[in-house]
Amino acid sequence: VLVIIGGMVGGGFALWNTYGERVQAFFGTGESLDYEAGMANGEARVTIVSGDTGESVSPKMFDAGVTKASNSLYKYMVNNSVGFTFQPGVYKLQKQMTSEAVIAALRDPATRLDSSVQLREGLTLKQSLDAISEQAGIPRADLDAAVADPSQYGVAASTLEGWIFPATYDFDDGVTAKDVVARMVQRTVQSLDQAGVPEADRERILTIASIIEREARAPDDFYKVSRVIENRLQPDNVETHGLLQMDSTAQYGVGEIGAGSSSSSENALTSDNPWNTYIHPGLPIGPIA
């Protein structure tokens, strides 16, 4: 703490120039938390999920550039006693909106994109299917059936884990589960082709990429994690003997990935499944996200 405070004192002027506006906005001091009316421009999309409240939606609006501060919408709702039930879906808004305008837009059914899906990076196949079902209104059973046979999409693997490309998609009304999955898999194939990945190496590259994404805490760590993977896979590495020993793979093998803990349970570390890289040398049997 002393080091942080000292750094702020030493470089206080520069820090305040950079972050002062956000600090004031967060604590409700200084200028208004809202943009002025008439500043709205461009387009922004925000995904609302089941259970979202004003407190959880407020930072989403800020991250998308819709509102001025991470707590703008929440404070507006509290200060004005705004009662509102957030409905799941992807909403087409504008950047630099007032909080009042945001609520008005969310009340307008035309703002909700009924056949739009927004998938963030790092989701497992199960999490992706949950998001697709909730956002596009496609029955989960239909999606499960659509991913049951990867070969119909040209994928030789036993599962489509790692093959659902994270992006924002717009679909026509009445789109089928198979059409949705086909488009997302095709986006992955296009991405691999653009990167020059041979067809025979696709599954391996997706597996490595999924581990890097799960193990790295920030994009700056991607290269470091890739180097660790490369070094540990070396057969002459006397320390690991080819074992990756990655917690993310062990957690995936027992269904613990995404459970909210970075540490693995004893069950995850000792379970003899093809994803446990503490037991089996080399890469796991396939992608983990």
CATH number of the structural domain spanning residue 41: 3.30.1490.480
Instruction: Based on the fold, state whether residues 121 and 189 are members of the same structural domain.
Output: yes
Instruction: Based on the fold, state whether residues 40 and 86 are members of the same structural domain.
Output: yes
- pTM across the whole model: 0.69
DSSP-assigned letters across all residues of 82-143: ---PPPPEEEEEEES--HHHHHHHHH-GGGEETTEEE--TT--HHHHHHHHHHHH---HHHH
Of 194, 214, 247, which marks where a domain is finished? Answer: 194
> Is 278 inside any structural domain?
no
Single out the residue of 111, 26, 29, 15 nearest to residue 68, CA to CA: 26
Q: What is the pLDDT of residue 76?
A: 95
The domain in which residue 244 lies consists of 200-270
Instruction: Based on the fold, state whether residues 215 and 154 are members of the same structural domain.
Output: no
Instruction: Based on the fold, state whether residues 6 and 58 are members of the same structural domain.
Output: no
Instruction: Based on the fold, state whether residues 40 and 105 are members of the same structural domain.
Output: yes
Query: Per the structure, how many domains does the chain have?
Result: 4
Q: What is the pLDDT of residue 7?
A: 43
Tokens in use for 178?
């198979």
> Is 65 inside any structural domain?
yes
Q: What is the pLDDT of residue 170?
A: 87
CA gap 10, 287 in Å, rounded = 46
> Is 224 inside any structural domain?
yes
Instruction: Based on the fold, state whether residues 126 and 172 are members of the same structural domain.
Output: yes
Q: What is the pLDDT of residue 25?
A: 47
Q: pLDDT (tens digit, 0 to 9) for every residue of the chain, 289 residues total?
A: 333 334 444 544 454 455 454 544 444 445 688 999 999 999 999 999 888 999 999 999 999 999 999 999 999 999 999 989 998 888 999 999 999 999 999 999 899 887 789 898 989 999 999 999 988 889 999 999 999 999 999 999 999 999 999 998 988 878 999 999 999 999 999 999 999 999 999 999 999 999 999 998 888 899 999 999 999 988 788 888 889 999 999 999 998 886 555 678 888 888 899 999 999 999 999 999 9
Instruction: Based on the fold, state whether residues 181 and 138 are members of the same structural domain.
Output: yes
> Is 282 inside any structural domain?
no
Of 147, 168, 194, which marks where a domain is finished? Answer: 194
Instruction: Based on the fold, state whether residues 44 and 82 are members of the same structural domain.
Output: yes
Q: How distant, in Å, are the alpha carbons of 122, 132, 168 from that of 89?
A: 20, 10, 12
CA 164 to chain CA centroid, Å, is 12
Q: What is the pLDDT of residue 259?
A: 57
> Is 179 inside any structural domain?
yes
Q: What is the pLDDT of residue 31?
A: 65
Instruction: Based on the fold, state whether residues 39 and 87 are members of the same structural domain.
Output: yes
Q: What is the pLDDT of residue 23?
A: 47
Q: How distant, in Å, are the alpha carbons of 42, 54, 69, 106, 117 from that of 103?
A: 18, 10, 15, 5, 21
Q: Find residue 93's DSSP bridge partners.
A: 44
Q: What is the pLDDT of residue 2?
A: 37
pLDDT digits (tens, 9 = 90+) for 57-83: 999 999 999 999 999 999 999 999 998
Contact call for residues 141 and 176 (beta carbons, < 8 A): no
Contact call for residues 242 and 235 (beta carbons, < 8 A): yes
